[in-house]
Structure 1
Amino acid sequence: MNGILLLGGHSDIGGDLSARLCAGREVVVVARRSQDLHEVVVRLNEAGASAVHTLDFEASELSSHQRLIERAIELTGGISTAIVAFGILGDQQRAEHDQAHAVDIATIDFTAQVSVLTVLAEQMDAGEIIAFSSIAGWRARKANYVYGSTKAGLDAFCQGLSDRLYGSDLRLITARPGFVIGSMTEGMKPAPMSVTPDAVAAAVAREIRNGTASTTLWIPGRLRLLAWVMKLVPRPIWRRLSR
């Protein structure tokens, strides 16, 4: 019962975090286009995973989540670390006018996350679940309010789930990184206190090894101060910010 489940095999952060934790453990990597996971499979094998399995995963097919997670448990004999790292940034300008695209972002980045987190909390007896919130959800901005709103909803869900799990052998780590410089944000100008996928993965890995209870993890830690300031900015000024 020491397996790792990575939901979102194409995620920079998810791949890095899995590589940091996988030595001597079986890993199940799930993603859309699982046939394209060769690089992450090689990386995990090189990092010492005892076995790496891949499965197809379509986040928007909510009814498939229960069976997918049950299959991952069957393959490993038990999951003790679940990394929920799938998601899309989407196109804010398109989402402002395209109802279907806005709903796609909301479905993948919020509804599907709620679905898998609920199943994991029921199926896992002990260990840790890692979910990824974002500073983008702290206060919605006109430049990315569709994506930001999904992170706000996810963060609220995770705070409640953390309280539900408190005192049990299963904990939830909710990572709240700043702007992540990676494949999802390629071509975008980094924001203040930006972080890289490996920095996020390193912080979460430390928390897994050192922590004892459910927690919310700001990455970097000083981002907490920026978040506090963001809440104080008057609305008329806030709505004029370009980012």
Structure 2
Amino acid sequence: MKDAFGAPQSLLVLGGTSEIGLATARRLIARRTRTVRLAGRPSPALERAAAELRELGAEVRTVAFDALDSASHEEVLGKVFSDGDIDMVLLAFGILGDQTRDEEEPLSAVQVAQTNYTGAVSAGLVCAGALQAQGHGALVVLSSVAGERARRADFIYGSSKAGLDAFAQGLGDALHGTGVHVMVVRPGFVRTRMTAGREEAPLATTPGAVADAIVTGLRRRSETVWVPGALRVVMSALRHVPRPLFRRLPVR
């Protein structure tokens, strides 16, 4: 359960090596989160992440989890919840893909879609059901502004995030009144290993800034969080730009 200050005491990060996920975990540990589960493919990076969080004072375990193996999600995540209540689930896995390659190799495009959307739908539903069964908790879903309107430069990734965003918004409506809070986070360009070498977009942000926004959003019980906040206005305008004009904008 959340402590007297409203901070989650237990956290499950799906995508245990995610820089945003780990930045969020660090901030929550500083706010009294004591139990952390890092779920991801077994790797030295996952173990290093767990060791780092243990040094901050949390009890941390790693969980072997594969976003693409949807058939295993119910069993794997069910075991996590059977060990005790989880106050917050952060769905932080995803891949950018390579737009040029993915257009030429449809199977690569499918992997982007399966990771970012199908895998997230599967894991999200399993976690939502478990949170609802325990009667409380938060499910935080990392979406992206790329899902707000498909751009020529990344429409495969963007379409997968658009699907995820719509799913998470609908899930939040379905769980309204059950004690489970769903929060969708829409960052812009985030400076991470995943985006290294890519041209930086305006209003670029950092994993730490996204983590701060997540913590604030949880405290306020927000349903949608934009990072940075100015993107709410920018994307509202871009959504309504006529397509012929949109194609000529430098945002492509």
TM-score relative to the length of structure 1: 0.93
Output the CA distance in 2 between the equivalents of 1:195 and 1:24.
25
CA-CA distance at 1:146 after TM superposition: 0.2
Alignment partner, residue 225 of structure 1:
233
CA-CA distance at 1:58 after TM superposition: 1.2
Alignment partner, residue 103 of structure 2:
96
Output the CA distance in 2 between the equivalents of 1:116 and 1:37.
19
| Cα pair distance change 1:112/1:24, threshold 3 Å | closer
Alignment partner, residue 39 of structure 2:
30
CA-CA distance at 1:126 after TM superposition: 0.8
CA-CA distance at 1:45 after TM superposition: 1.3
CA-CA distance at 1:74 after TM superposition: 3.0
Output the CA distance in 1 between the equivalents of 2:88 and 2:33.
13
Aligned match for 1:136, one of 146, 164, 167: 146
Alignment partner, residue 5 of structure 2:
none
Q: Mapping of 1:55-204 within 5 angstroms?
A: 55-75=63-83, 77-124=84-131, 125-204=135-214
Q: Match of 2:22, as an amino acid? A: G
Output the CA distance in 2 between the equivalents of 1:160 and 1:74.
26
Output the CA distance in 2 between the equivalents of 1:68 and 1:35.
20
Indicate the larger mover: 17-26 or 134-143. 17-26
Assess if the C-alpha contact under 8 Å between 1:27 and 1:52 holds in 2: yes
CA-CA distance at 1:28 after TM superposition: 1.0
Aligned match for 2:61, one of 34, 44, 53: 53
Output the CA distance in 2 between the equivalents of 1:211 and 1:165.
18
Assess if the C-alpha contact under 8 Å between 2:10 and 2:33 holds in 1: no
Alignment partner, residue 17 of structure 1:
24
Indicate the larger mover: 167-176 or 28-37. 28-37
* Helix, strand or coil at the partner of 1:112: helix
| Cα pair distance change 1:56/1:114, threshold 3 Å | same
CA-CA distance at 1:24 after TM superposition: 4.8
* Helix, strand or coil at the partner of 1:142: coil
* Helix, strand or coil at the partner of 1:64: helix
Output the CA distance in 2 between the equivalents of 1:33 and 1:161.
29
Output the CA distance in 2 between the equivalents of 1:47 and 1:131.
24
Assess if the C-alpha contact under 8 Å between 1:24 and 1:48 holds in 2: no
Output the CA distance in 2 between the equivalents of 1:39 and 1:206.
27
CA-CA distance at 1:42 after TM superposition: 2.3
TM-score relative to the length of structure 2: 0.90
**Matched-pair identity in %:** 42
Output the CA distance in 2 between the equivalents of 1:164 and 1:74.
23
